[in-house]
């Protein structure tokens, strides 16, 4: 493999990881919101949620976001802290919820990161 190609792939990977990290709420702000009554929303599939979930989390799978959000969160001003397995689906869900008019939606990121927020 060409070294230039390998270098570019490395740069792209680092850029992707940095961009993914930039969209995350800080652990401190997420804890403050959670302690103030925010809802922790798990956007993984129902099967993933049943296999492992965080205490108090509400499961609204990404593929059921439109109906699930209206059903679980009629107040579009409620603070929602979203997470999934790696942070990719929760980022997509944040964008979708904001487009639906939700005003206080934050991406926590991965399940492991959300666990650190819950554990405090």
State pLDDT tens for residues 55-72: 999 999 999 999 999 999
- Half-sphere exposure of residue 110: CA atoms within 13 angstroms, side-chain side: 7
State pLDDT tens for residues 16-37: 554 455 579 999 999 999 999 9
As a whole number of angstroms, the distance between CA 76 and CA 74 comes to 6
All structural domains of the chain: 24-119 (3.40.250.10)
The residues, ordered by sequence, that sit 6+ positions from 79 with a Cβ below 8 Å of its Cβ are 33, 36, 37, 38, 39, 104, 106
Helix 88-99 to helix 65-72 angle, to the nearest 10 degrees? 70
pTM: 0.83
State pLDDT tens for residues 79-114: 999 999 999 999 999 999 999 999 999 999 999 999
Give the pLDDT of residue 18.
46
Determine contact, residues 80/57, Cβ cutoff 8 Å: no
């Amino acid at each position: 493999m060409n070294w230039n190609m390998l270098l570019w792939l490395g740069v792209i990977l680092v850029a992707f990881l940095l961009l993914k990290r930039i969209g995350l709420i800080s652990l401190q702000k997420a804890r403050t919101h959670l302690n103030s009554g925010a809802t922790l929303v798990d956007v993984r599939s129902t099967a993933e949620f049943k296999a492992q979930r965080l205490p108090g989390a509400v499961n609204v799978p990404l593929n059921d976001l439109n109906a699930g959000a209206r059903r679980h969160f009629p107040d579009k001003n409620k603070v929602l802290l979203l997470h999934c397995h790696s942070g990719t689906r929760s980022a997509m869900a944040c964008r979708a919820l904001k487009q639906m008019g939700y005003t206080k939606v934050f991406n926590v990121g991965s399940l492991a990161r959300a666990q650190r927020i819950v554990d405090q």
